[in-house]
Amino acid sequence: MFIKQLTVGEMGVCCYIVGCAKTGKCAVIDPGGDEKKILSEVERAGLTIDYIIATHGHPDHVCGNRRIKEASGAPIVMHEADAVFFSRPDVVKYFSMLGLEASPPVDIQVLGGDVISIGEEKLQVIHTPGHTPGGICLYNAPDLFTGDSLFVGGLGRTDFLGGSHGELIEAITTQLLTLPPETVVWPGHGYGGNRSTIAEEKRSNPYIR
């Protein structure tokens, strides 16, 4: 699988271009700004965008959705719980404090266990609530895109509206730490580093040891 990690936007989001080298199809995961940079990298790689996937609905991860969709025509994908939660007027108002554009309406709602096909590559949706109600990770062995559920040496904050520390710890413990130890962790921010493994997080992450 083709993987390009880009740090974008005002909040240093790790955006990913993931694609099928054989078919030239790709998805953009969490376009949190710098849309021209993202589109340029897609073009440079000779790919076309089939999906725009949000690991969760926080504006720093979806503020580029509209421009990427306008440029590519690709549908926006989000877990149904976040699609509903982030369409609520009170939630939109709450997160407007970040000063970033919310996502346009979601085109495709997914659930845990669903599979998103990108050419001949497949991303398995893993529901990891806690950072947001509909937070997801995306798994294509050995690669795991964790959004803000799991960082290198850390985990997503749960004090925002819709967060739950207990749910996040349970999701990480039961859904992520059970994956093979060699699984590569690609986080939603590079706070502690831009890449890790499940084995390393189990060994050294102080929040989940």
Q: What does the pLDDT look like over 11-29, one tens digit per residue?
A: 999 999 999 999 999 999 9
Q: Tell me the helix, strand and coil percentages in the chain, rounded to 5.
A: 25, 30, 40
Global pTM reads 0.97
What integer pLDDT is reported at residue 209 of this predicted model?
A: 72
What is the distance of C-alpha 191 from the center of its chain? 15
Whether 139 shows a pLDDT value over 90: the answer reads yes
Percentage of residues in the chain having pLDDT higher than 90: 99
pLDDT tens-digit readout, 75-121: 999 999 999 999 999 999 999 999 999 999 999 999 999 999 999 99
In the chain, the number of structural domains is 1
Residue 185's domain spans which residues?
2-204
Residue 143 CB contacts under 8 Å (≥ 6 apart), including other chains: 1, 3, 18, 183, 184, 186
Residue 142 CB contacts under 8 Å (≥ 6 apart), including other chains: 180, 182, 183, 184
Query: Which token pair is 29?
Result: 């995961």
What integer pLDDT is reported at residue 32 of this predicted model?
A: 97
Tell me the pLDDT of the chain averaged across its residues: 97
**Alpha-carbon torsion 141, 147, 152, 155, what sign?**
negative
- 53 in a structural domain: yes
What integer pLDDT is reported at residue 126 of this predicted model?
A: 98
Average pLDDT, stretch 152-159? 97
CATH, residue 98: 3.60.15.10
- 82 in a structural domain: yes
Whether 42 shows a pLDDT value over 80: the answer reads yes
Burial zone of 97 (CB within 10 Å; 0-12 exposed, 13-18 middle, 19+ buried): exposed
Give the phi and the psi of residue 67 in degrees, each rounded to 5: -70, -35
Confidence of residue 194 (pLDDT cuts 50, 70, 90): very high
Q: CA 185, CA 166: separation in Å to the nearest integer?
A: 21
Which residue from 35, 48, 40, 45 is spatially nearest to 3, judged by alpha carbons? 45
- 209 in a structural domain: no
pLDDT tens-digit readout, 51-80: 999 999 999 999 999 999 999 999 999 999
What is the distance of C-alpha 34 from the center of its chain? 16
